[in-house]
Structure 1
């Protein structure tokens, strides 16, 4: 399995050391404990450190030298032991909480490393690896001097600097080491085929990034790297493809581990039951809204599926897509201010269309977060792909470019969703432990889906129906992902269900089942689970405060906590927010 994480939606690590506000004393103390953990990340996967914003690793490349597993595991176990000692000595409650976050992250990392080493054949897609590593440096939000460091990383990837072996040769050597062990499970055939098909797009993407950055002197090293990737792909076809598994399902221990890593702490069976109930409830809500839309439009049918298909016909031309989304976001911001939902910044949010390479890597809308270590004014970007290069048909991906969709997608990815979530961490300051090592999809995506629900009551009926459709998709993810990974249904059956009941296009439905099957098994369940946790917590706060509950104050408080796991966020609401609100009311 690749040690470089996939860029899926918001499945990204973040860390914060902001230039926008003074660092509180407890944050400085916490960050001192966290720095060695960050350096561990950079030592073995410096590409991750680059995305975090740690410039000290900008020219380094992933460690694929012999015995990297043993070395990284040993260092992680030593770090865990040291953190436990520090936790026992620390007196500050907030710092202790951050040390708990760090300890949990190391425990999960060790468990994952051991399980994957026990079960899985070594495989990584070198084309995607080098694209991600170079893109992190060539990102247009980086200053020119940082972009130029991509030349050094490129040279090292290609083995053109003394002391460096081509990364493709190292990946091949690590793959060959355990190839003869027939007990190890190969990668899913769909994953391997997708990687092979996408690598030309990744190579084109690298070339495009260098040209846009205006960096000179990359051509010769890039030509060598491109040739090495092609040779590696030929080796993959000869040696990995025959070992690739035809069945999606992995051992259940691996799937449960992946659920835990994205913040889901219930059993797959419980997830299926809960999501199955809520799927029915949301679908019924959709039908009520669809009845009204059909009556207003004098449609011959009021079935929610047919109404959605009709709405999808209002396609926005590509050259008008970004202006249209920006207008909808202005409308949403007006709703937020009018109804006192959450505090908004004065500046505009950034929205753009994905490049071909970004769409190949992440064929669904996503937030590209800013660097949060050493941030000097960079903000996140809401990115919209217009096609799925991995689709199985030539059907148009019409799920994000029609007028009614703009409401819920802008609310989720921009405001009050992820853009606001990450900007808040930049502007107010946040400990690295909370912004990085507490990060998981449940924490992040729960807020995104919660944000859609905040705006839904104020949307026009068409926007409400599509917002409920987006919620229905999250329920479907939590229902289908576990069933695929428990061997109860095939990816094709899940795809058919999504196209029929959730009314997804073929390209988008394909990207969904690819996500459940091999891109990131378990991750898609986190939206629903995080949403349930956050809405339940809001109910507890409403009960505790009664008529004194202040929605804006609650949402601002949640945003101010950074990306906390549900259990820690609940603790903060119960121990800090509710008592503070009661004291504020009593003082009036």
Structure 2
């Protein structure tokens, strides 16, 4: 079962803030559903923070998927009954949020079974399942359970090993000619990265000094290596050469990420915005070139020159911590939003983490039972002299907008606010959608741009241009309107991304997360529109800090529910 609970970007439910009665009621329903999710997908349960299933591993068999769907249908029936019983409108809304999420889970699984050949990057899945437990923010008790999960993956707990399950599931479906095979680049990447994930698992156990893991690891390493060879000989030859996916699957992917707009309309809007941003970039680049004494003021040339100013090695963490301190001073000086009193967490990723997610990102804390754990701003590892370099994240000028987006006032602030202020599980977990989370982080970049130095402003615009490019390239690629080669050229020549980063972007659009990259532009567009409408209605009573604090207190509501909250709660409270 491919769970659509968007945990990779989700904020956390907190037990630190006092709960209103309606939140307590809502959470009682939510925790039961989350327990059921954890039962059929233990790794997701662990990531949320449900410790009961920390020693368990997913079962990839068709029988297990059918059981999972039965469990979800049962929960849907219970929630419908609860919706009729509860009178508090906020609880009713939370119940509807949960119902919508569960129904999307059912619909997405049915579409996947109908159109897609089952395919698994087992090495990545196993590494992620172990890493969730061997996280320095966890207790020693939780970490020790990683040994049991490792043994479960290796088939030492009574069931078939996970690599064998994956093979069997794929082979059962090979006889159906109507199923779409995985994209060849996805298969090749799984093959190439398997050794990195094996090494990453070993490193995690060594670093945390656990005992008793070696026998299970040896078996699992051999099984993953065998699976790697099976992918090479059996799956890679039948993998599809075209990145185009069935349109019904792509449209469903957009909805799951909170993008409620037809793909072709999204393309039209994003193309216009891309051109507008490009013109503004040129204006700023001209100023930078003049100040720096560059002979060429073309924005592409100026960006290339600034990208040469890199921060690497041992300088990375101190540099980004200082950059965050500089940004926080700006936020406070201009009364933009309320900041936490504690510092944000920043660290550099391991090689295996970078293979799984080769971009700077926010690593969320546990989502249930949080007692003070916070998210982490994670920077990808750059290994000098080893393969293509992704230097986009470590140029000094780009560090301004990157830190705003991933740390403060972007993702980290959004997550921290929910930990410290408290929000129902329905609004922190079930309602979570990329359009809200990524829309807020891109919006944060936009409101901070005017206060940055000119070099920082140029890269802030470049980042926004990249999000606009995503919003037309992602659907164009998946609908067969542009080739991967031509799309990559837009990113390298127009957006000025490095070749390696541009390729990561193409992989993201075509097989890693089709549709998700459009959510940045879509969510930002909705939030910008919502602010303007609010300003018009409130006139001189509008206060951006109050507006931003209210937005963050709503959890991760999708755009339409967030709009409703602003119109029905925030605006009347100010008027």
Aligned mates of 1:13, 1:125 — CA distance in 2: 22
Give the structure 1 partner of residue 297 of structure 2. 302
Task: Find 1:227's aligned residue among 222, 231, 252.
Answer: 222
CA displacement at 1:394 relative to structure 2: 3.9
**1:127 — aligned with what?**
123
CA shift, 1:22, in A, is 1.6
CA shift for structure 1 position 177: 1.1
1:53 corresponds, among 46, 49, 52, to 49
Alignment partner, residue 108 of structure 1: 104
Match of 2:180, SS state, is coil
Q: How does 1:361-400 map to 2 (within 5 A)?
A: 361-387=356-382, 394-400=387-393
| TM-score where L is the length of structure 1 | 0.95
User: Aligned-pair distance for 1:45?
Assistant: 1.0
1:167 CA drift (Å): 1.3
User: The residue matched to 1:201 in structure 2 has which SS?
Assistant: helix
Question: What is the CA-CA distance between 1:164 and the residue it aligns to?
Answer: 2.3
What aligned pairs does 1:30-45 form with structure 2 within 5 A after superposition?
30-45=26-41
Q: After superposition, give the CA deviation of every residue in 1:505-553 in whole Å (9 maximum; x if it has no partner).
A: 0110011000000000000000000000111111111111100001000
Match of 2:335 among 326, 332, 340: 340
SS in 2 for 1:373: coil
Q: Tell me which residue corresponds to 1:509.
A: 502
Partner SS state of residue 70, structure 1:
helix
Match for residue 553 of structure 1?
546
1:387 CA drift (Å): 3.9
Q: How does 1:466-481 map to 2 (within 5 A)?
A: 466-481=459-474
Alpha-carbon distance, 1:40 to partner: 2.3
The answer (yes or no) to whether the contact 1:3–1:45 under 8 Å persists in 2 is: no
Report the Cα distance in structure 2 between the residues aligned to 1:423 and 1:57, rounded to whole angstroms: 26
Other-structure match for 2:511? 518
Match of 2:527 in 1: 534
Match of 2:483 in 1: 490
Tell me the distance in 2 between the aligned counterparts of 1:402 and 1:19. 38
Deviations, residues 67-100 of structure 1 (Å, cap 9, x unaligned): 2232222222232232222212221011111011
d(CA) in 1 for partners of 2:163 and 2:3?
14
User: 2: CA distance between counterparts of 1:134 and 1:502?
Assistant: 36
CA distance in 1, matches of 2:398, 2:381: 13
Q: Do 1:386 and 1:397's aligned partners in 2 also have CA atoms closer than 8 Å?
A: no
Unaligned runs of 5+ in 1: 583-588
Structure 1 residue 66 displacement after superposition: 4.3
Deviation at 1:50, TM superposition (A): 0.3
The question of whether the paired residues in 2 share the 8 Å contact of 1:388 and 1:507 is answered with no
Distance in 2 (CA, whole Å) between partners of 1:66 and 1:529 is 35
Matching residue within 10, 13, 26 for 2:22 = 26
2:11–2:415 Cα contact (<8 Å) kept: no
Query: Relative to structure 2, which stretch is displaced further, 429-438 or 227-236?
Result: 227-236
Match of 2:84 in 1: 88
Residue 265 of structure 1 deviates from its aligned partner by 0.6
Partner residue in 2 for 1:155: 151
Task: Within 5 Å, give how 1:272-351 maps onto structure 2.
Answer: 272-351=267-346
Instruction: Determine whether 1:98 maps to 2:94.
Output: yes
| Cα displacement (A) at 1:316 | 1.3
Return closer, same or farther for 1:131/1:369 CA change in 2, 3 Å cut-off: same
Alignment match of 1:258 (pick from 248, 253, 257):
253
| Partner residue in 2 for 1:562 | 555
Counterpart-to-counterpart distance in 2, 1:252 and 1:414: 35
SS at match of 1:367: strand
Question: Does residue 193 of structure 2 align to residue 168 of structure 1?
Answer: no
Between the aligned partners of 2:46 and 2:66, the Cα distance in structure 1 is 24
TM-score (norm 2): 0.97
Judge conservation of contact 1:158–1:166 (CA < 8 Å) in 2. yes
SS at match of 1:149: helix
Q: 1:386 to 1:502 in 2, by over 3 A?
A: farther
- 8 Å CA contact retained: 2:290, 2:297: yes
Task: Indicate the SS of the match to 1:67.
Answer: helix
- 2:83, 2:5 → 1: CA distance? 32
Please state whether the residue corresponding to 1:374 is helix, strand or coil.
Answer: coil
**Is the 8 Å Cα contact of residues 372 and 426 (structure 1) preserved in structure 2?**
no
Contact 2:12 2:365 in 1 (8 A): no
Within 2, Cα distance between the matches of 1:144 and 1:320?
Answer: 31
Structure 2 match to 1:3 = 2
Partners of 1:46 and 1:58 within 8 A in 2? yes
1:62 to 1:13, Cα distance in 2 relative to 1, 3 A: farther
Q: Are 1:11 and 1:440, in contact at CA under 8 Å, matched by a contact in 2?
A: no
- Mapped pair 1:442 → 2:435: yes
Which is further off, 269-278 or 165-174? 165-174
Q: Deviations over 1:337-369 (max 9, x none)?
A: 010000011111111111111111111110001
Residues 1:70 and 2:55 aligned together? no
5+ residue gaps, structure 2: none
Q: State the alpha-carbon separation in 2 of the partners of residues 145 and 509 from structure 1.
A: 41
Maintained 8 Å contact 1:425/1:562: yes
Match of 1:521, SS state, is coil
Residues 166-205 of structure 1: CA deviation (Å, up to 9, x unaligned)? 1111111111111111111111110010011001101111
